[in-house]
Structures are given as structure tokens and as C-alpha cells.
Amino acid sequence: MLNIRNFSAALLIIIFSVCFNYNANAQINLFHNGDFETGDFSGWTVIQNTGSEGDWFVYSGTLPPLSGQPVLPPPVGQFAAISDQTGPSSQVLFQDIVIPITGTQCSAVIYYINRAGNESGFVSTDTVGEYTTRGSEAGSVSTKVNGEGLFINGANLSQSEGPNQQARIDIMDPTADPFDVGSGVLLNLFQTNPGDPAELGYTTLNFDLSAFAGSTVRFRVAEVDNQFFFNFAIDNVQCQGVANIPTLSEWGMITAAAGLGLIGLFFAVRRKRAMA
């Protein structure tokens, strides 16, 4: 009986080792909670700069929690991440991911509305925190008459060291300072620039991280403002890594059939001998 069991076990191991080849690919998102549908920042890290009067929030609907300035609803699903403030602020949102050797296809959906504009075209009306709502009527939001927002790319991500009104998305060295804009930035994926429109509708940002295959990188979203309200939103962040899954190969199917036949023949011979 022991010999039968040993023979069967050995044969089955051989069959399974030959049958299954890792020749099929499964797509997996390298980001945890990249769509923020948990309703919180699970998987993400949020850091405010010292003295910041804003933060990142997971939001739904059309009103962020601090400024009360209207925004578009989340582009994908019920929730998205958005920056909001009552005064000058600077904050980063990031997540570290491991880039597989098999490569990645990445994307994110972004949206922003920058209410800092040409102040000569507006009058002061209502005050929200340290910022003043500007417009021809009380409670209206401000954008520049020519449609451009006031963007200023400061030398760093500080809200307290000179004019600074910008947002950027970077691939970072995980060991770098989260607010770094120098050598710690491995690849810039997006940045607002002077002359950009005051509002950017839902826009899909596609990027390839294959150059970082086999390493860990940090995906960082930064927003800083000290001119007026600036809401920057991001959603549906994903990097589709390739994972191998076992499949039954053609030769494996032949081997399986032959193995099962041998097992049947073995038991038939044993039974015939027992009856003799």
C-alpha cells in the first residue's frame, strides 16, 4: 500500500510541475486605494508643511470642506482626493510602489481650479479665513478675465517664502524629503506653469514607469498656494503591473493524460495480481 501511495504522489508531482507554465499575465494595480473609494487615505501618506492652513481631503459632492468654493464632483466613482485651504498652504500626498520587472502602464485623472487671478479686475467682498472671495458679486469665485490663472512656480514648495501658487506630480526617491524639488525628483509628470488656464477639467495623465523596473519609487502630488484658493484634485491613480499566473499548457495536458493513464494501468496490474 505504501508503494502505491508513493508512486501516485510522485507521479502527480511530476504531472503538476510539467502541466502548469507561467505563461499568462494578470493585471494588478500597484497602488493601494488608488481610487480613494475607501473614503479615506488608506495606503497614502499626507503631510502638511509647517504653518500650512490647508490639507488634502477625500471628498465627494461639489464642496470641499474648508473653503466652501464649488468644484467639480469626483471624476471616477464616489470619492477623490482634493487640496483645500483657508489661507496660505502647502501639502503633499504620496504613496510608495514597487515597480515590477515586467513593466507598468500608469495613469491618473486630475482636475484643478485656481481662483488666484488679476486682482485689478475684482473687488473685495466676503472673507473666508485669510483669503477674500473676489468678484463682481458677493460670494462669486474669481478667475482672471482672460481665463488665465495666476500661477507662480516658487523655488520650493513653501507657502511662506515668497509668491508660490503651483501644483505638481513627481516620481520621487523614497528616501528624499517629501517636499523636495531637487535631486530627489526622479521624474516630473505634471506641473502648473505661469499662463496656464485658471481651470483644468478632468484630464487623464498617462505615464510609463518602466525605467524604474525592479525598484521602489514614490508617487507624490504636491500643492502650494499663497495667492488665493487653489483646489487640485486627483483620482483613479493606477499602475497596471503584470503578474504571471499558471496555466495548463498544451504539453501539460498531454502529460496529464499520459500520467493518468499510467496510474490507471498501475492499479489495474495490482488488482490483477491480487486476484491471481
pLDDT digits (tens, 9 = 90+) for 193-242: 999 999 999 999 999 999 999 999 999 999 999 999 999 999 999 998 76
Largest interatomic CA distance in the chain: 109
Instruction: Please count the other Cβ atoms lying within 10 Å of the Cβ belonging to residue 22.
Output: 11
| pLDDT tier for residue 24 given thresholds of 50, 70 and 90 | low
Mean pLDDT of 141-170: 84
DSSP state of 130: T
2-19 and 250-275 helices, crossing angle to 10°: 170
User: What does R_g of the chain's alpha carbons equal in angstroms?
Assistant: 29
Check pLDDT > 80 for residue 111: yes
pLDDT for the residue 141? 38
Per CATH, which fold does 27-246 belong to? Jelly Rolls (2.60.120)
- Higher per-residue confidence, 163 vs 8: 163
Sheet holding 89-98, edge to edge: 45-48, 89-98, 216-225, 165-172, 185-191
pTM of the model: 0.74
Mean pLDDT of 15-22: 50
Q: Where are the domains of the chain?
A: 2-21+247-275, 27-246
For residues 146, 83, 177, 203, the Cα torsion angle rounded to the nearest 10 degrees is -60
Instruction: Please count the other Cβ atoms lying within 10 Å of the Cβ belonging to residue 59.
Output: 22
Q: Which of 180, 168, 218, 179 is nearest to 47 (CA)?
A: 179
Check pLDDT > 50 for residue 121: no
Q: What residues have CB less than 8 Å from 178, skipping those under 6 apart?
A: 45, 47, 92, 94, 172, 218, 220
Locate cell 488665493: which residue? 228
Bridge partners of residue 24, in order along the sequence: 245
